[in-house]
Amino acid sequence: MRTIELRIGLEDAYGRATTRGVIRYAKNRGDWKLYGAVRRDFGGNAAEETPAGNEARRPDGIIARIESAEDAAALAALGIPVVDVAGAYPNAGHASGEFLEANNDDFLTGRRAGEYLRSLGFKRFAFCGITEAVWSKRRKQGFAEAVGVSQEKLGAFERSLGWWKDIDRDEGVLRRMLQTLTYPAALFAGNDVAGLKIAESCRRAGIAVPDQIAVLGVDDEDLLCELADPSLSSVRLDCEGIGKAAAELLDQAMRGETGERKRITAPREVIERESTRIMVADDESASRVLSWIRANAMRGADVGDLAAAFPVSRRALERRFKAAWGLTPHEAIIEARLEHARRLLTATDLTLDSVAQASGFGGLQRFHIAFKDKEGMTPGAWRKANRRR
């Protein structure tokens, strides 16, 4: 049996899902024994589940979130294979080849966030991040590139992770930054901890979310995001995939294979909630039309229903809409339905016929044709390639 110690922590969605990925790999192996403390503590003060009996010996390998120089030094001193799943600390032994890495693609996460917020029509952007975390810096880089603004000109507010987590910390400086933005603006937060604090600061400052500032986080801490007022949109990461990749790298290292040392896992989709449920355009009527489409397309509404809902001629409505968004109302309806269908395909076990009905297509054949035209593959093939682990 291989004895594997987990120093990941279960206090957030990232830790729980990453651990789940490791556990699933271990169960398939059959010769792995896992143990670990619930709370990360590299000084020997583990909160729970310390090894006992034969497990008290030094483990064969460790999977850990390395987030400080102290973390790195303590683990490097053990002289056993270690996989870092944090991607947080800039010099955690990676340059010297001491640790393996299984991380999220944080640059792509930032790009995905920027592309999503741009698709809502925003032209002004800001970023709030974590000063000491490499992953936050990479998300900022990807975001700046996606929105077409240099990092120097991108409105940025960065503090330590401890500052963001401390709910009692004075938010005056954050509120003043939010009040200096030109509205409407889209703000990308480096993680949900920052996003939730930003949304609360907006509420206290009388800044409307999302009408004045739309807020997008990362990690999809689903319960916290849903309980927030307004609920917080977030980029979902493939944390189980990261855990599986970490376990595979560790397995190879324990067998003496020294080739592969790093795995990068792409983020998943944006989970849209109230904090970004808005469309922005110079033409306010075009924004209202698109908001109507996003609210009603899945109910089977078509262009005729849209025209009946707005007191303008159908031709004028279509002309102004295309001038604002670059596509026709019909194309926007189809895209809204496809967006909903993609979420159902990745998150549920609904049959394809049920997905077609729930997305407003009315029938499987119409759904199949529209989906393949957009994605280049059938809904079934797309689900297999993109299904959450």
First-to-last CA distance in the chain?
Answer: 26
The sign one gets for the Cα dihedral 194, 195, 201, 202 is positive
pLDDT band of residue 92 (cuts 50, 70, 90) is low
Per-residue pLDDT of 200-254, as tens digits, reads 999 989 999 998 999 999 999 989 999 998 999 999 999 999 999 999 999 999 9
pTM of the entire structure?
Answer: 0.77
Per residue in 343-364, pLDDT tens? Answer: 889 878 899 999 999 999 989 9
Biggest CA-to-CA distance, the chain:
79
Domains of the chain and any CATH numbers: 2-104+239-268 (3.40.50.2300), 106-237 (3.40.50.2300), 284-386 (1.10.10.60)
Span 108-130, average pLDDT: 93
- State whether the Cα torsion 298-302-305-306 is positive or negative: positive
Can you tell me the mean pLDDT for 16-22?
Answer: 94
Q: Three-state DSSP class for 16?
A: helix
Token couple for 192: 């949900």
pLDDT digits (tens, 9 = 90+) for 47-81: 344 444 444 568 999 999 998 888 888 888 888 99
CA distances from 14 to 46, 136, 145, 275, 291 (A): 19, 15, 25, 21, 32
Per-residue pLDDT band for 198 (boundaries 50, 70, 90) equals very high
Instruction: Yes or no: say if 199 and 71 are a contact pair by the CB < 8 Å rule.
Output: no
Return d(Cα 288, Cα 210) in angstroms, integer: 14
H-helix or E-strand spanning residue 76: helix 69-76
Cα-atom radius of gyration of the chain, to the nearest Å? Answer: 23
